[in-house]
Structure 1
Amino acid sequence: MSIAEATTAPYSEMSDRELARAELTIARKYIGRFSWFMAVWGLGNLVCWLALWPLTLSGILPLWMAFPIATINVILCYLPSHEAQHTNFSTGGPALRWFNEFIGYVSTIPMVLPFKIARLTHMEHHSHTNDPELDPDYGVKADSWQQALLTAYKRRQPGQPNAYGETLNRLGDGPVVKRAGLEGAVQVLTFWAIISALAWSGHALEAAAIWWLPRYIGTFYISLYLSWAPHFPAPEQGRYRNTRHFTHPLGNILALGMEDHIIHHLHPAIPLDLNAAAYREMKPILDARGCRDERF
């Protein structure tokens, strides 16, 4: 089939090479765009969370109002850092590398997720999606969303295997891994030091309502929608089958944009806020590829 014929032929009649070419043509429309939306999301969410501290400590904002806001802040804080893990804020050139790393580091402060550890383990997830031995996120596998929440709870109990720690051990003791481990230890210890200092100074309720409990609840939500839902039931490892497009009954916003997660795995350089548009344009190609389009 000639190139001219390939552009007009039904996707179902195209070869794998022709489908790949058509898919890449669409992807290039979205790759490389700087996402101001994700940048404002990351920094604005952090500023909102930081503002809760003086507002509550001064008595202006009651704790019962600060708590749900802080929980939403934690739920929202991961995805801008996720963009930075893929260097999507510096696609315009090395001059923006500092900004990419800045977003990566600061946006997940409410979640207490060390950036370098997140990046290393997330790259392993992309390289080994749904591999029971090598995918750091495989432990979220469950037969239903209720079981997924229960699994997330069990994984956080003392004595349970730490998938991120096991992944770092497997990656060896090179300087990048060592630096990630050191930064992670410093960040977690700093979190507990601040929590302890607040409790010691008589602000235990504020510490619990603005940071400790929202972090605990928020990570459950993130685990459900960012890890479990896009890959459920996690049976396959092929490029076009290891994740899916799904329709959430309450919409893509509450699903944190993960309805179109298949686009992210195929083309990680496409910003999150453009995944839905890219999916709509690629859908006939992805259908021809046998990609999964399912209900939540």
Structure 2
Amino acid sequence: MDGTMDLTGKTELELRAMEREIAKQHLDKFPYLSLAWGLGNLACWIAVWVLCLNGVMPLWLGFIIATVNVAASYLPSHEAQHSIFAMPGKPKRWLNELVGWVSPIPLVMPYSVLRATHMEHHKHANNPELDPDYSEHYDTIAGFFWSSVQWRQPKPRGGEHPYVRCLKRIGREDLILHSVAYQLVYMGVLCGMALNGLAIEAALLWWLPRTVAVFYVQFYLSWAPHYPDCGTDRYNDTQSFKSRFGNIWSSGMQYHVIHHLYPRIPLVRTPEAYRQMKPILKAQGARVDAI
């Protein structure tokens, strides 16, 4: 669609209708790349462990690959959280849930918790009381990094973790046990390896890659698309942004505005959907000037 198209005189209803017609071109498309990405990335991460622990791959190279693997492990699950692989009741629903659960294993985050909290983020984006990701909304990058460090603590800033608070509010306290189980297994593996003389391997293949990856995921999925002062309305609760590392290395989040408007558009289709919708979104007050 022509980015200079004249939309003068178009009513809000007409603009919304044009927007939806474009969205229809990108909805209900099976994300084959995300499927291969989710399962292949996990297989690669496991292979790195095998190769490094058997002395086939140098540990420094394993650390680099493992860091990329852990950082890349969230997005396929993110597709599953929005039922992009298959809606409930559909024949491929099992595949949606499989990718949702196995993809973020390196990140040590259960799919059940990710899905529940992420749905609340979409419902209440940027609401300081209800958005479970709001704690990462700092005015500076330094502030963001400090908030990310705090987020990893059992009681950030001395209070209840925002995800725990969110799960309690929506009546899903049972999911807290999923996170506890994941953390126990994770810490058990790290401690077990350390006790068997493999502390460096444990640190470089999981602990440090995960530490870096959490910064990365929170920066590109939480901070950059909602900084500095996005609102809570449909067209200003997120924004486009220009990453110096390009779209791939910023997890495809430069076009995050499309995701919030149409969460079931697959990630790989958001750039084209953005380019087609941009003038329509701009006419409705969306923050789309960055790219």
TM-score when scaled to structure 1?
A: 0.92
Matches within 5 A, 1:101-116: 101-116=97-112
Q: CA deviation at 1:179?
A: 4.3
Q: CA RMSD in A?
A: 1.7
Match for 1:97: what amino acid? R
Match for 2:32: what amino acid? W
CA distance in 2: counterparts of 1:91 and 1:153, whole angstroms: 35
User: Which segment drifts farther, 151-160 or 124-133?
Assistant: 151-160
* 1:136 aligns to 2:132 (yes or no): yes
1:252 to 247, 252, 262: 247
Match for 1:290: what amino acid? G
Q: CA deviation at 1:52?
A: 1.0
1:48 to 20, 24, 44: 44
Contact 1:131–1:237 (Cα < 8 Å) also in 2: yes
CA distance in 2: counterparts of 1:96 and 1:119, whole angstroms: 18
Q: Give the equivalent residue in structure 2 for 1:6.
A: none
Match for 2:69: what amino acid? N
SS in 2 for 1:293: coil
Contact 1:248–1:295 (Cα < 8 Å) also in 2: no
Q: Give the equivalent residue in structure 2 for 1:169.
A: 168
Q: CA deviation at 1:146?
A: 3.1
* 1:272 aligns to 2:267 (yes or no): yes
Q: Which runs of 5+ in 1 are unaligned?
A: 1-8
Change (3 A) 1:132 1:178: closer
Match for 2:92: what amino acid? L
CA distance in 2: counterparts of 1:293 and 1:196, whole angstroms: 47
Percent of residue pairs identical:
44
* 1:227 aligns to 2:250 (yes or no): no
Q: CA deviation at 1:184?
A: 2.2
SS in 2 for 1:61: coil
Q: CA deviation at 1:42?
A: 0.8
2:71 to 75, 87, 106: 75
Contact 2:41–2:73 (Cα < 8 Å) also in 1: yes
CA distance in 1: counterparts of 2:263 and 2:26, whole angstroms: 11
CA distance in 2: counterparts of 1:95 and 1:209, whole angstroms: 40
SS in 2 for 1:244: coil
Q: Give the equivalent residue in structure 2 for 1:3.
A: none
CA distance in 2: counterparts of 1:285 and 1:91, whole angstroms: 28
Contact 2:48–2:62 (Cα < 8 Å) also in 1: yes
CA distance in 1: counterparts of 2:69 and 2:128, whole angstroms: 31
Match for 2:212: what amino acid? I
Contact 1:32–1:92 (Cα < 8 Å) also in 2: no
Matches within 5 A, 1:1-296: 10-91=6-87, 94-157=90-153, 159-160=155-156, 161-172=160-171, 177-295=172-290
Q: Which runs of 5+ in 2 are unaligned?
A: none
Match for 2:50: what amino acid? P
Contact 1:26–1:282 (Cα < 8 Å) also in 2: yes
CA distance in 2: counterparts of 1:294 and 1:211, whole angstroms: 38
SS in 2 for 1:95: coil
Contact 2:41–2:69 (Cα < 8 Å) also in 1: yes
Contact 1:34–1:91 (Cα < 8 Å) also in 2: no
User: Which segment drifts farther, 151-160 or 75-84?
Assistant: 151-160
Match for 2:163: what amino acid? Y
SS in 1 for 2:107: coil
Q: CA deviation at 1:193?
A: 1.3
Q: Deviations over 1:192-234 (max 9, x none)?
A: 1121211122211111111111111110111111100001113
Change (3 A) 1:295 1:27: closer
Q: CA deviation at 1:18?
A: 0.6
SS in 2 for 1:239: coil
Q: CA deviation at 1:11?
A: 2.1
CA distance in 1: counterparts of 2:244 and 2:131, whole angstroms: 28
CA distance in 2: counterparts of 1:190 and 1:109, whole angstroms: 11
Q: CA deviation at 1:135?
A: 0.2
